[in-house]
């Protein structure tokens, strides 16, 4: 049983009607902390009271989103009002998705169908809602991102599923009182899979769990399904037209919403028990299956379709508060329509106007007529009639009328229309409602440093990784409900490790700007690039086809090659003393197209003694390991040692080696030791190791330019 079992762990069985009152009387509060018990706000009221750990919350002055972060039912969410409609106190602190104080969200859930197998999104289900379902592995726990959205990621079989919840503007209220619900599914396997999604929402209006669900010209109180073109743009629910306490709205088409293939309205018990198919009986009321209380719910189906390897599919719907302009009277009338409509100069844009009419007088209203009056710039769509005959309307009964209204292509600004209702035995009534005609959302992307530069430091390019920041602003006339930006380079640049090319900003309101950063570096394999290297930041509004771009450049200086003598290790304690053994590495740095080298090392034989033939070729340059074999030395020639023929002259050792016979004879860009020499120190002082001659060459015998630098060994008394 939905409600009694929910509180049994706290106080034993509680009658459902008492719990319904508690749901209205007590505030669903926000937890504190970072992940468990985290909270964030967008444009907030006073901070809500603290709540139980195990829930994170994103909220503003209108609504809040609460997500379960415990190990059970992880990722499930609920929605409640905070201040709700600013003109109505009756909907403050009221649930829109079922949840009572002290609970974690659990009654609503998403089903992912993969190749005919049904999985519940999120952690292990423990209650009636989806308890029989399989579930996946959590990749990313529910967390608040940028104080703008809550994300949760699960791996379900071969598919990674991300749930993204954010607060956006309602299509009918014009306020930030609606939740954008998004699921991103990525096929991580190398095979095609048939993947679909079902989202079940446990609707609730404050204390009312069985109010009619109003779709177009229907007030739905029994099991009903809409499919294909019959699916409306939105549905609404409210308990009373003359004095609605809470008005909920689900948006099914338009904006960035992904229209479902089917929408069911039924009782919560049936939808909770069935992961995909469920006990659907047209004409049955919303009494919870197996119980005795009204309990409405809705389920949106996106039927399975092939998902190719690496392909991503996104499903989006909206749920939150609905806006109705109401005029009470003997014939009470409420009208709803989008608060803003986006104009399109290339096509005719239409939108619905829905009128709810209720006889709240004392007797039957006879010959009820509703008519719509439109201003210049708006007209009825083809086939629509301005006047609608509703017949007789008994006391307490209601009727609904829908008109389709078209926008003239050149019009803009705010326009007001009026709906009037009349009866031969009742006072007429009317209500007016404004709609704002706006231009589409559009992005302007500005790079904070469009021309960047690296410099050469002692150990390479600096600074690395290099930070690129773009300012993304919505410069259109409407909100962008989801914005994605991506960094890319056609040549020579790449993302630093751990940085992702694509980043989700989420909702970007009209005029709002947001900064996004990436960390990049020059490409070094198979060869390094230098010069003024280009990159692009590209932005897109989800559901739109236009790309917005900003181009930048990063100047990468040439990384010159070098051969250096480096004392690397001393036997015994520092400082170096007479008699100690010193190793000297001959190191090539940033050598391009390395095939071979010939190097003459010069030293003072009265200060340093080369120990026999203890000269070792570098592994990268002159050794190769093949599968199942020991390392083999390539074409390394025995060093030639030339001692001085006269007193005071220097000694020389000549090093030669090539990569002949290697699987990759020429290394495009490499840094490693060419050879290691071992010396014994004969006397104190500072002794130089000179590189008298350095010749590095490619496979064609062409000299590769490198700088040469000797080293010094300091020996104490």
**Which range (37-46, 86-95, 181-190, 524-533) has the least confidence?**
37-46
CATH class of the domain comprising 443-556: mainly beta
- Helix (H) or strand (E) run with residue 22 in it: helix 16-25
- Give the residue-averaged pLDDT of 306-321: 97
441: pLDDT strictly greater than 50: yes
Closest to 231 measured CA to CA, from 216, 219, 242 = 216
- What is the DSSP annotation of 202-219? -B-BTTBS-PPEEETTEE
DSSP 654-702: EEEEE-TT-SS-SEEEEEEEEEEEEEEE-SSEEEEEEEEEEEEE-TTSP
For 146-165, the pLDDT digits (tens) are: 999 999 999 999 999 999 99
- Return the closest-CA partner of residue 248 out of 91, 453, 89: 91
The model's pLDDT over 22-54, given as tens digits with 9 standing for 90+, comes to 333 333 333 323 344 456 676 545 555 555 689
Q: Specify the pLDDT at position 706.
A: 85
Query: In the chain, what percentage of residues exceed pLDDT 70?
Result: 90
Backbone dihedral angles phi then psi of residue 360, each to the nearest 5 degrees: -105, 15
Mean pLDDT estimate for the chain: 88
Comma-separated ranges of CATH 2.60.40.10 domains in the chain: 443-556
Q: What is the mean pLDDT of residues 665-681?
A: 87
Task: Write the pLDDT tens digit of every residue in 625-653.
Answer: 776 667 778 888 888 889 888 888 999 99
Instruction: Give CATH 2.60.40.3880 domain extents, the chain.
Output: 325-438
pTM summary value: 0.80
In this structure, are residues 79 and 64 in contact, taking their beta carbons and an 8 Å threshold? yes
Gap between the Cα atoms of 273 and 85, Å rounded: 34
Q: DSSP assignment, residue 5?
A: H
Write down how long the chain is.
Answer: 717
Euclidean distance between CA atoms 160 and 347, whole angstroms: 37
Each residue's pLDDT tens digit, 243-299: 788 899 999 998 899 999 999 999 999 999 999 999 999 999 999 998 889 999 999
Angle between helices 2-11 and 16-25 (to 10 degrees): 80
Residue with tokens 């073109």: 229
* pLDDT (0 to 100) of residue 38: 58
pLDDT band at 3 (very low <50, low <70, confident <90, very high): very low
Residue 130 has pLDDT above 50, yes or no: yes
- Alpha carbon distance 258, 196 (integer Å): 13
In CATH, the number for domain 16-321 is 2.70.98
Token pair for 456: 């050469």
pLDDT score for 411 = 82
Top pLDDT among 64 and 52 is at 64
Which of 213-227, 339-353, 486-500, 666-680 shows the lowest per-residue confidence on average (mean pLDDT)?
Answer: 666-680
What integer pLDDT is reported at residue 611 of this predicted model? 85
State the fold for domain 561-715: Immunoglobulin-like (2.60.40)
Alpha carbon distance 536, 447 (integer Å): 10
Give mean pLDDT, residues 56-85: 96
Instruction: Please give the Cα distance from 388 to 371 (Å, whole number).
Output: 6
- The rounded distance, in Å, linking the Cα atoms of 678 and 584 is 6
Report, as an integer, the average pLDDT of 596-607.
94
Evaluate whether 539 touches 485 at the Cβ level (below 8 Å). yes
The model's confidence at residue 580, banded by pLDDT at 50, 70 and 90, is confident
Give 603's strand partners: 651
pLDDT tens sequence across 179-231: 999 999 999 999 999 999 999 999 987 676 677 899 988 889 999 999 999 99
pLDDT of residue 607: 93
CATH 2.60.40.680 domain residues, the chain: 561-715
Query: Which residues are bridge partners to 447 per DSSP?
Result: 470
Q: What is the helix (H) or strand (E) element at residue 273, kind and residue range?
A: helix 268-273
Structure-block tokens of residue 114: 């993969």
CATH T-level fold of 325-438: Immunoglobulin-like (2.60.40)
Mean pLDDT along residues 174-180: 97
Q: Which segment, 11-25, 36-50, 365-379, is predicted with the most confidence on average?
A: 365-379
Residues 451-480 have a mean pLDDT of 92
Identify which of 605, 618, 634, 601 has the alpha carbon closest to the alpha carbon of residue 670: 618
- The highest-confidence range among 7-11, 362-366, 581-585, by mean pLDDT, is 362-366
Phi, psi at 412, each rounded to 5°: -155, 170
Please name the residue that has the structure tokens 């040469």. Answer: 708
Token readout for 319 is 């749920």
> Does pLDDT of 480 surpass 50?
yes
4 pLDDT higher than 60: no
414 pLDDT more than 90: yes
Question: What is the Cα–Cα distance from 101 to 14, expressed in whole angstroms?
Answer: 14
What separation in angstroms does the CA of 562 have from each of 375, 673, 691? Answer: 78, 12, 11
Instruction: Identify whether 5 is preceded by a cis peptide bond (ω within 30 of 0).
Output: no
Question: How much is the average pLDDT of 418-429?
Answer: 96
Kindly tell me if the per-residue pLDDT of 577 is higher than 90: no
The residue that leads in pLDDT, 433 or 662, is 433
The answer to whether residues 379 and 323 touch, using CB atoms and an 8 Å cutoff, is no
Q: Which of 33-42, 48-57, 309-318, 473-482 has the lowest mean pLDDT?
A: 33-42
Peptide bond into 117 cis (omega under 30): no
More confident residue, 518 or 573: 518
Query: Is a pLDDT exceeding 50 seen at residue 13?
Result: no
Could you tell me the pLDDT band of residue 96, with boundaries at 50, 70 and 90?
A: very high
């Amino acid at each position: 049983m939905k409600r009694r079992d929910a509180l049994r762990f706290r106080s034993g069985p509680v009658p459902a009607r008492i719990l319904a009152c508690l749901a209205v009387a007590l505030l669903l509060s926000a937890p504190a902390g970072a992940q468990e018990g985290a909270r964030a706000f967008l444009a907030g009221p006073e901070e809500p009271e603290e709540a139980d750990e195990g829930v994170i919350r994103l909220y503003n002055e209108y609504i809040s989103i609460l997500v379960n972060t415990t190990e059970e039912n992880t990722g499930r969410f609920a929605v409640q009002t905070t201040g709700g409609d600013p003109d109505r106190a009756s909907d403050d602190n009221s649930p829109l998705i079922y949840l009572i104080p002290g609970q974690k969200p659990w009654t609503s859930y998403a089903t992912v169908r993969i190749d005919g197998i049904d999985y519940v999104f999120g952690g292990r289900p423990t209650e009636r809602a989806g308890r029989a379902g399989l579930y996946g592995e959590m990749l990313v726990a529910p967390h608040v991102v940028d104080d703008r959205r809550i994300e949760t990621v699960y791996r379900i079989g071969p598919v990674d599923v991300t749930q993204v919840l954010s607060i956006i503007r309602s299509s009918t209220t014009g306020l930030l009182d609606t939740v954008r619900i998004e699921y991103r599914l990525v096929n991580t396997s190398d095979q095609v899979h048939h993947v679909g999604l079902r989202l079940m929402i446990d609707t609730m209006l404050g204390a009312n769990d069985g109010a009619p669900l109003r779709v177009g010209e229907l007030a739905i109180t029994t099991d009903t399904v809409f499919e294909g073109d019959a699916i409306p743009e939105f549905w609404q629910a409210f308990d009373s037209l003359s004095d609605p306490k809470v008005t909920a709205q689900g948006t099914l088409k338009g904006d960035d919403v992904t229209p479902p293939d089917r929408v069911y309205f039924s009782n919560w018990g049936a939808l909770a028990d069935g992961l995909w198919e469920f006990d659907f009986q047209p004409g049955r009321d919303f009494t919870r299956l197996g119980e005795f209380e009204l309990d409405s719910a809705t389920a949106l189906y996106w039927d399975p379709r092939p998902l190719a390897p690496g392909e991503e599919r996104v499903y989006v719907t909206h749920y939150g508060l609905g806006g109705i302009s109401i005029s009470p009277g003997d014939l009470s009338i409420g009208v709803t329509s989008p608060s803003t409509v986006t104009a399109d100069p290339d096509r005719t844009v239409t939108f619905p106007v829905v009128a709810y009419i209720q006889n709240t007088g004392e007797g039957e209203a006879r010959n009820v007529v509703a008519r719509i009056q439109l201003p210049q710039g708006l007209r009825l769509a083809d086939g629509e009639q301005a006047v609608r005959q509703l017949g007789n309307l008994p006391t307490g009964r209601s009727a609904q009328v829908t008109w389709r209204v078209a926008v003239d292509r050149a019009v803009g600004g705010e326009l007001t229309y009026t709906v009037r209702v009349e009866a031969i035995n009742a006072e007429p009534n009317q209500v007016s409602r404004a709609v704002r005609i706006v231009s589409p959302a559009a992005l302007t992307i500005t790079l904070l440093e469009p021309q960047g530069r690296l410099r050469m430091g002692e150990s390479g390019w600096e600074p690395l990784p290099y930070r690129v920041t773009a300012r993304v602003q919505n410069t259109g006339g409407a909100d962008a409900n989801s914005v994605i930006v991506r960094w890319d380079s056609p040549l020579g640049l790449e993302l630093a490790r751990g940085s992702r090319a694509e980043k989700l900003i989420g909702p970007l309101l009209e005029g709002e700007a947001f900064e996004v950063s990436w960390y990049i570096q020059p490409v070094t394999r198979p060869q390094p690039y230098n010069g003024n290297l280009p990159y692009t930041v590209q932005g897109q509004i989800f559901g739109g086809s236009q790309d917005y771009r900003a181009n930048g450049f990063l100047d990468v200086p040439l990384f010159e090659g070098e051969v250096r003598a480096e004392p690397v290790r001393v036997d015994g304690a520092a400082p170096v003393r007479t008699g100690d053994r010193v190793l000297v590495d001959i190191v090539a740095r940033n050598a391009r197209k390395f095939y071979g080298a010939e190097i003459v090392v010069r030293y003072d034989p009265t200060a340093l003694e080369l120990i026999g033939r203890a000269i070792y070729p570098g592994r990268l340059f002159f050794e190769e390991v093949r599968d199942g074999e020991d390392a083999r030395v390539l074409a390394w020639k025995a060093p030639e040692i030339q001692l001085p023929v006269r007193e005071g002259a220097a000694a020389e050792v000549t090093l030669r080696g090539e990569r002949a016979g290697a699987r990759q004879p020429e290394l495009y860009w490499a840094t490693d030791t060419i050879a290691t020499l071992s010396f014994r120190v004969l006397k104190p002082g500072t002794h130089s190791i000179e590189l008298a001659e350095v010749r590095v060459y490619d496979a064609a015998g062409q000299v590769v330019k490198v700088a040469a630098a000797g080293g010094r060994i300091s020996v104490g008394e």
